[in-house]
Amino acid sequence: MHSLNYHKASNASEAARLLSGTEDGKFLAGGQTLIPAMKTRLAAPSDLVDVSGAADLRGITVSGRDVTIGAATTHAEVAASGELRNVCPSICEMAANIGDPAVRHRGTIGGSIANNDPAADYPAAMLALGATIKTASREMAADDFFVGLFETALEDDELITSIGFTAPEAGAYAKFPNPASRYAMCGVFVARGDGGVRVGVTGAGADGAFRAGEFEAALGGEFSAEALNGISVNAEEMLSDIHGDGVYRANLVSVMARRAVAAAS
């Protein structure tokens, strides 16, 4: 049996200090990805630094339309926030449909973003909302943060502390879930704000979450589902696996995008 050291951090600073003293430590938030990886021996950290109880990493703050969400805030807490729902109901609805109740009450927004699973929901939202991902030492635009399958711009010892964004004038998320896992075979988040229209796609791209530029351009001229008729993504750039090939997923992107726009309208 693999042995390890467990540490409980009370705040972000303590978490960073605890991790710095380890040989191959990992931060643990909800554990919805890391724990299964450890069970299958895909991960074998020397230490776990638990940040789930760090008070400065939890909570949701809304000031006007400016939103800040602590990295250790759970999906269930995002879904249930009335203050957040008043300004950005789309992200609340998205969070309410992640996984099952057990996943939603343990999984965290920071953990989801840091893991950058190609079928996770939050990356599409972060791209569409033009979010800023904050750590103890810097801030990164979502466009620069997600760099590939399970890859982000984070350094090995870097901890996400919060996520910030300005709530859009209109937004919605449409998802086609795998019936077994509830992961997105395709999820499209559409947001219209002061900077124009942004469209984030997850579950479909061969390189992970991405922005659909042609969709954004079309919706910038006319924000309606009909504006997307005849527009599609390149099937060769989409993921192909046992659940669906690139052509299938390319079609899903178009369908989910139209559904999201219709809902946002």
Residue 63: pLDDT above 50? Answer: yes
Residue 76: pLDDT above 80? Answer: yes
pLDDT band at 2 (very low <50, low <70, confident <90, very high): confident
Residue (of 245, 194, 192, 246) closest to 219 by Cα position: 192
Q: Would you say 155 and 215 are in contact if contact means Cβ atoms under 8 Å apart? A: no
The segment(s) of the chain belonging to CATH 3.30.43.10 are 5-50
CA distances from 22 to 7, 11, 26, 37, 136 (A): 10, 17, 9, 19, 19
Query: Which whole number is the average pLDDT over 80-101?
Result: 97
Query: Which whole number is the average pLDDT over 164-177?
Result: 97
> Higher model confidence: residue 80 or residue 24?
80
pLDDT band at 79 (very low <50, low <70, confident <90, very high): very high
Percent of the chain residues past pLDDT 90, beyond the cut: 85
Per-residue pLDDT reduced to its tens digit, 19-36: 998 889 999 998 888 888
In this structure, the number of other CB atoms found within 10 A of the CB of residue 23 comes to: 8
Distance CA 136, CA 16 (A): 9
Distance CA 224, CA 62 (A): 28
- The sign of the dihedral angle between the CA atoms of 242, 248, 249, 252 is negative
The class that CATH gives domain 58-264 is: alpha beta
| Pairing of the two strands 151-152 and 146-148 | antiparallel
Distance CA 65, CA 248 (A): 37
Strand boundaries in 94-159, DSSP class E: 132-135, 139-141, 146-148, 151-152
- Indicate the fold that domain 5-50 takes in CATH: 3.30.43
Q: Would you say 218 and 227 are in contact if contact means Cβ atoms under 8 Å apart? A: yes
Biggest CA pair distance of the chain: 59
Distance CA 56, CA 59 (A): 8
Residue 1: pLDDT above 70? Answer: no
Residues linked to residue 171 through DSSP beta bridges, in sequence order: 191
Unique residue bearing structure tokens 């643990």: 28
The segment(s) of the chain belonging to CATH 3.30.465.10 are 58-264
Per-residue pLDDT reduced to its tens digit, 211-259: 999 999 999 999 999 999 999 999 999 999 999 999 999 999 999 999 9
Per-residue pLDDT reduced to its tens digit, 219-231: 999 999 999 999 9
- pLDDT of 88: 98
Distance CA 67, CA 79 (A): 14
Distance CA 201, CA 187 (A): 6
- pLDDT of 111: 94
